[in-house]
Structure 1
Amino acid sequence: MARTVRFHEIGGPEVMRLEDVEPGEPGPGEVRIRVDAIGVNRAEALFRLGVYIEQVKQFPARLGTEGAGVIEAVGPGVTGFAVGQAISIVPAFSQNDYGVYAERAIVPASALLPRPDGVDAVSGAAVWMPYLTAYGAMVEVGRIRPGDVAVVNAASSSVGLAAIHTADRLGATPIAVTRTRDKRQRLIEEGAAEVIVSEEEDVTARVLALTGGRGAEYVFDAVAGPGVAELARAVAPGGTLFLWGMLSGQPTPYPGFDLGMPALNMRTYTVHEITRDPERLRRGAAFVSSGLRSGAFRPVVDRVFPLEEIAAAHRHMESGTQVGKIVVSVAH
C-alpha cells in the first residue's frame, strides 16, 4: 500500500485526504515510480476546486502532475527507461488518469525525463514545469528575438521567474509585474530589467513609457479576466498577448474591437503544447538542460512541505506570498 492524496468532493485544501491505496502494476507504456518529491502547481488547486480547464470525472480523485523519484517497475513496451533510474515527471497527462501526490504512482513513460547525476529530487521536481512553460511560449510559439520586450505578470511565481530567466537568456528584456512592493528587490535580483508594482502604478502607462511608446512585443498574462483590456494596450503592433493562467477566475474578453482593431495577437497557451508533443519536449528538455549546465537556469524553491502537510502546501500557494516553487517531500 502507498499513502496517496485523494479527494472525494470539490472544495478547498481541507478536502484532500491521505489514504492507503494499492499502487498496482504498470500497464503498457507505463511505469511505477517511487515518488521522492512533488512539484505543487496551480492547476492542481484549480482541479480540486472544480474550476480547471477540465473537470473531475469521478471520485475519489487524485492530484499531481509533476515530481521526481526512482523507477520501480516498467510496463510492457516501455523503452529507454530502467528500474532504479532517477527521473523527473513532467505535466503531460490528465489528472483524471494519473496523479503523483503519493508515495508511489503509476505514470505514462512519455511523461518522464531522465534526472542527471547531481540533481536531487527536490530540484528535479521543481525545475521542469516552469522552464518548459516559458520555453514553449517564448521559443516554440513566440519565437522571441534579441531586443524584444517581454512583460511578465505574477512574476514571482515559478513560471514567472523562469520566464524572466528565459527572456534574459534569449537576449530579450524582461519587465516583471508584481502586486506589491515586497517582492520588487527579489525580482531585480532574479534578472528583471524593470519591475512594475501594479498596486502603485499604471501598468500599461509604465510599459509604454519604458518602451518609448512602442509597447512590448510579448505580454505573458497569468491573471486573465477583464484586465486584459488594459494589458492589450501595452502590446506593440503585431505583438502577442499570451494567456497562460487564469488567476482572476473571471471571464476574459477579447479587447481588440474595443481598442479599434489594432494588430493584436491574443493566444491561450499551456505547457501541454510542449509536454504532449515528443519532438517539442525533446527540444525543450535540451534547451532547459543547456541553461541548467550554464547556470542561466536554476530551480527557485520557495518552501518544502512534508506529504503529511499537503493541505498546508496548497494554502501557502493560494496565499500568493511565495517566490518560486512549492515542493512536497515524500519520506519513505
Structure 2
Amino acid sequence: MAKAIRFHETGGPDVLRLEDVEVGEPGPGEVRVRHEAVGLNFADTYFRTGLYPAPLPAGMGVEGAGVVEAVGEGVTHLAPGDRVTYTGSPLGAYSTERVMPAGSLIALPDPISCETAAGSTMRGLTAAYLMRRIAPLKAGDTILLHAAAGGVGLIVAQWAKLLGLTVIGTVSTEQKAELARAHGVDHVVFYRRENLAERVRELTDGAGVPVALDSIGQDTFASSLASLKRRGLLVCFGTASGPVPPIDAMQLALAGSVFVTRPALADYIADPAERAELSGELFGHVAAGRITVGINQRYALADAVRAHQDLESGRTTGSSVLIP
C-alpha cells in the first residue's frame, strides 16, 4: 500500500490526513510514478479550504518529481527508470506513489535533482510565463514584484535580472528583504509599513511601473493598481491574503487606462509544445546556474499539517518540499 495525504472536508490544515491507498497498475496512456519529492505550494491551501472546489474526499498537491516505475499501453515516450517532474491536475501529489496521465509528465534533465524539480516546476513555470509570455518586457523596464522572497518571487527576480529589468520587490520582514536582495531585487519595500504606491513613484521618477506582479491579492490590489504607469498591466496571479476585490471598469480608466489580468499557469502550459519550450528554458537556466532554487524547508509527508501551518503563517521562504 502507498501512503497519501487526503482530506474529506474543507477547512484548516487539520483536515489533512495521512492514509493508506491502493495505487494499482497504469492503464492506457498512464504511468505509475514513485515520488522522491513533492512540491508544497500556496495554491494547495486553496483546494484544502474550498476556494478551488474539488470532489471530496480528495488527494492533495499538484506538483511532484520522481521515477517512472511502470507504463501503460500506448506510452512510448517514457520508460521505467526515467526521472520525471510535473505540475497540474489531477490532485494527489502528496503521496509516495501514484498513477497519472503520461502526457502530464516532463522528462527531467540529468543535472536537475528531484528535490530541485519538486521545488521549482510550478514556481519556475509560473515565473517563465510571467517573464516570457505575460507582457513584452524589455531591458531597462522596472517591474513591481510582490512576495519577492517567496518561491515564485525568488525565481522571477533572478530571471528579471537576466532580462535586464529593474525589480522593486515587496517583503514583510528584514530577513526576507536580505534574501530578496541576494536574488536580484534592486529596491525593497516593506509593504505593511510603507506606502507602496508612493515608494514606487519615488523610485520611478513619478512614472510608475509598466507591470506589477501581485500574488497577494486582497491586501495589495489597490496599491498595486496605484503603482502602475499609464496603460500599465496588473497581473493578479495569486490570492495569499484573500480574493481580489470586484473590479469597476471605470477605476481602470481613472488609474490611467490600465489593464488587469488574472492568469492561470494551466493556460500557459496546456499546449505540449509551449510547455516543453518554457520548461526547457527554465531547466536550462537552472542547470547552468543562472537561476538557483533554494529548498529552504523540508517536511516529511506525514508532517503536511505543520507544512500548511507554516505556509499560511508566512514562516516559509523560497521553495518547500515534502519528502515521501
Quickly name the TM-score band, shorter chain normalised: over 0.9
Aligned to 2:83: 86
Does the CA-based 8 Å contact 2:6-2:17 persist in structure 1? yes
User: What pairs with 1:171-210 in structure 2 (closer than 5 Å)?
Assistant: 171-210=164-203
1:65 aligns with 2:62: yes
Query: Could you say what secondary structure the match of 2:133 adopts?
Result: helix
TM-score, scaled to structure 1:
0.93
- Give distance in 1, aligned partners of 2:113 and 2:47: 28
Does the CA-based 8 Å contact 1:127-1:298 persist in structure 2? no
**1:141–1:7 CA distance, 2 compared to 1 (3 A):** same
Q: How many residues align?
A: 323
**1:23–1:142 CA distance, 2 compared to 1 (3 A):** same
Does the CA-based 8 Å contact 1:153-1:221 persist in structure 2? yes
Query: Unaligned stretches of 5+ in structure 2?
Result: none
1:226 Cα shift? 5.9
Give percent identity, aligned residues only: 33
TM-score, scaled to structure 2:
0.95
Which of 252, 260, 265 does residue 259 from structure 2 map onto? 265
What amino acid sits opposite 1:290 in the alignment?
G
1:313 Cα shift? 1.1
Aligned to 1:77: 74
Does the CA-based 8 Å contact 1:256-1:262 persist in structure 2? no
What amino acid sits opposite 1:232 in the alignment?
L
CA offsets 1:40-84 (integer angstroms, 9 cap, x no match): 1111111011112xx022x22101111111001112222211111
1:101 Cα shift? 0.9
Aligned to 1:322: 316
Does the CA-based 8 Å contact 1:180-1:198 persist in structure 2? no
CA offsets 1:237-257 (integer angstroms, 9 cap, x no match): 222100000112145232652
- Cα RMSD, aligned residues only: 1.6
- Give distance in 1, aligned partners of 2:270 and 2:292: 23
Aligned to 2:40: 40
1:214 aligns with 2:207: yes
What amino acid sits opposite 2:309 in the alignment?
R
What amino acid sits opposite 1:282 in the alignment?
A
Which of 264, 281, 291 does residue 297 from structure 1 map onto? 291
1:114 Cα shift? 1.4
- Give distance in 1, aligned partners of 2:115 and 2:173: 28
Which of 229, 233, 248 does residue 241 from structure 2 map onto? 248
Does the CA-based 8 Å contact 2:112-2:287 persist in structure 1? no
- Give distance in 2, aligned partners of 1:38 and 1:180: 27
1:157 Cα shift? 1.2
Aligned to 1:313: 307
**1:324–1:215 CA distance, 2 compared to 1 (3 A):** same
1:277 aligns with 2:275: no
- Give distance in 2, aligned partners of 1:329 and 1:145: 39
- Give distance in 2, aligned partners of 1:127 and 1:117: 15
Does the CA-based 8 Å contact 2:226-2:255 persist in structure 1? no
1:157 aligns with 2:150: yes
Aligned to 1:56: 54
- Give distance in 1, aligned partners of 2:71 and 2:198: 55
- Give distance in 1, aligned partners of 2:64 and 2:251: 43
Query: Unaligned stretches of 5+ in structure 1?
Result: none
- Give distance in 1, aligned partners of 2:163 and 2:57: 44
